Amino acid sequence: MRPPSPPRRLALGLLSALVALIGCDRSTPATTGDSARASAAAAEPPEEPSPHFRNVDRKVSYVGDAACASCHARETATYRQHAMAQSFHRWTPATRVEPPLDKPLQHGPTGYSYSIAESGGQLYQVERLTSPDGKPLHELRRRIDYVMGSGQVARTYFTEENGRLFQLPLTWYRSHGWDFSPGYEISSARFDRLMPDRCIACHSSYPKAIPHLEGKYAEIRPGIGCERCHGPGALHVAERRAAAARRGTALDSTIVNPARLPLERRLDTCEQCHVHTAVTVLREGKSDFDYMPSQPLRDQYAFYKVAGGIDIVSHADRLRQSACFIGARTTSRPLECATCHDPHQPAPAAQARNQPCQKCHTAGALTQRLARSPALVDHAPGSDCVSCHMPRVAVKSAVHGAFTDHWIRVVSRGTPSPTARQYGDGSIEPYYQRDKTGPDAAIYQGMGEVVYATLATSGRALTSAATDLARALGTDSTRGDASFLLGVASQQLGNTEDAIRALEQSIRVDSTRPDRWRALAVSYARAGRPAAVVDSVYRRALALQPALAWIRADHADYLQGQGRMDDAVRAYQAALAEQPSLAAARFNLGTALAAQGKRAASSAAFQQAVHLDPSLAEALSPLIEVHTSGTSDVRVIGLASPLATLPLRERGARAVQLTVADASGAAPALVFGNVPPRGAVQILTPDGSAVRTLPTGDGSALRWDLKTDGGSPIGGGLYRVRVVGRGVGGQATPAQQLWLGVVQRRDD
């Protein structure tokens, strides 16, 4: 079987580091001929002072749209028809727009197929795997519980597991129908892509977040509500009800009115969700739910674009490049988002959307200006300004989606089509001026570079980024988020002592973050710190948030490696009670139970793991049993599979093979056959942490002594083997991956 692409270790670690990744950038104009316009856009006038609103500088509660409707019935009723109000909600048969899927969609790299099933008034997404002769090998289904997206472009779906929300593989696109969700066709996340806080923060009006538990919320409000742009409403409601008769034209400071804000703060209110950059880094101590309208958005996020990159979906930035925006910026009626998009009304009809343009570009003025131009015929009173001057453009990063380009300009046939930004080793540039010249600019630049290097999966770029961040931090001992990010990057690069120093510093700044304690436990374990110390650090992380199942499973892996099987089993069971879909944790529970001689229970755990992820069946064929005495392996055995049938597919004659070495007169070992020359065999944990790297030399066969890079015997559990090599001409050969399951038995 070809296993699905594994999760990226770097991305997993850095998601814990308070960074959010979004797919667009604030870019320079598409052609060099517009450099003067870009310079004009950059030379922004001084900001106007903003009025003070009391509901954003104290702990004021959110009240929900129903409380607003009692006084603002008309606005509330019309807003419910707006796409923003429909941006996130539970799926119900009454709101269904999706047609059936006639033919399953095949994911080539993994062999999985995906279909839509209906049962009992509910929709399900179903994953199947079949053998080459058509025999069913695997089926897994997940119910559609939530919809993200209004459906004007697309609707993507989430399933709920014990309160956690996971994205589903298929999305419905209005212009196309069913297809893979963005990113899934390249690297299928199956049913494991957890809802990021950054996504729900822009599709739901401030859910009640559970501390340190991304993707699980105490309450989720449907859609983007009134308080997203006006701030929490409890103060306003209380004071209005107490003095309902006293209404005038004076500023009501109990709630933000965006119309009263200066231009930049009005734009910030929209840009909190409608600016897209390659990298987004939260400011020190901020969360994805901290921004309040009327506050400068630059104090919430550090945005970075890729040098020379362009993304059409970054509507707010594209508008800023427009001559119309630049020319009207200092007038009493500047061009801004709300000029064309009334936030309380659905999108206008095609003819009505011309009206903002015609306020400046009147029919008479256009006739006079274009009197001798062949373009005059295109500017009749009934012509559509938007379709020509803001054309819809298909964007590679947004599958089956065409978006209005908000850079208003004269588009000629010679104008090159803008292209979506691609990840690579290119540099990133700051969005805000404070991140170009401010006192902490170098620190945030280094943080952004670390995140971007992770997206580019470039070890060389990550090394450079970590060096830059360490240099920028210097002796600064106040930056907990930056120190944590540096520690995680150092950990990924194998610089354990550097990681420990940075992680310890991050905890000195803020000791309430469980992800920091967990990262420190991992580095302590790699450094060979006493087991009691490592164990206590894991327990400190879990005491801060017991529902962090992935940290609990990580702790269980450590306990199993220490031979504490009873403790490991209890930890695995607790993790799986909280998050049942953790396939690797279920498999590792099986190896721990097998080490205890509990064959029936271990077989059940393996069966459940393979049901969740059929690629793990490969790790049971055979299951490797390693007998250890002290710090030495004494023998290794290939066990018969604990399962009667396995959903295995043929890997091919040239695929890398794994066998137990002949034990006569030699130390216990495994042998990798068919390895390519001039490459390496990398033994990794399921999340990508390095265990051992072995050069393949001239290829053919390679012997592994079942030791880590540090010389210790490997512990029991699931391992991922990645094999890379180079051909005769020096070109890289396609990487191969296989799973390995190990049961550790101690003979002492």
Segment 416-463, tens digit of pLDDT: 554 444 444 458 889 899 999 999 999 999 999 999 998 887 888 999
> Whose structure tokens read 């079949």?
130
Residue 396: the pLDDT is 64
pLDDT < 70 regions, the chain:
1-45, 244-249, 307-313, 395-398, 401, 413-426, 648-650, 663-665
Q: Do 499 and 483 meet the contact criterion of CB atoms below 8 Å apart?
A: no
Residue 531: the pLDDT is 96
Residue 47: the pLDDT is 78
Q: Do 117 and 251 meet the contact criterion of CB atoms below 8 Å apart?
A: no
Overall fold of domain 613-748: Immunoglobulin-like (2.60.40)
Q: How far apart are CA 522 and CA 244, in angstroms?
A: 59
Phi-psi region of 64 (alpha: psi -120 to 50; beta: other; left: phi over 0): left
Segment 319-372, tens digit of pLDDT: 888 999 998 888 888 999 988 888 888 777 777 778 888 888 888 888 888 888
Length of the chain: 748
Residue 244: the pLDDT is 62
Tokens of 733: 């050969």
Tokens of 336: 């801004």
Residue 3: the pLDDT is 36
Three-state DSSP at 543 gives helix
DSSP string, 617-674: GGGGTTEEEEEEETTEEEEEEEEPPSSS--------TTS-EEEEPP-TTS---EEEEE
Q: Do 385 and 375 meet the contact criterion of CB atoms below 8 Å apart?
A: no
Q: What is the pTM for the complete model shown?
A: 0.89
Residue 629: the pLDDT is 80
Residue 248: the pLDDT is 61
- Determine the angle formed by the axes of helices 583-595 and 549-561, rounding to 10 degrees: 30
Q: Are strands 136-143 and 122-130 parallel, antiparallel or unpaired?
A: antiparallel
DSSP string, 21-56: --S------SSGGGHHHHHHHHSPPPPPP----GGG
Q: Which of 418, 444, 399, 494 is nearest to 171 (CA)?
A: 399
Instruction: Considering the chain, tell me which residue range(s) the CATH 2.60.40.4070 domain(s) occupy.
Output: 613-748
Buried b (16+ CB within 10 A) or exposed e, 558-575: bbbbebbbebbbebbbbb
DSSP string, 58-84: S-PPP--HHHHHTT-HHHHHHHTTSGG
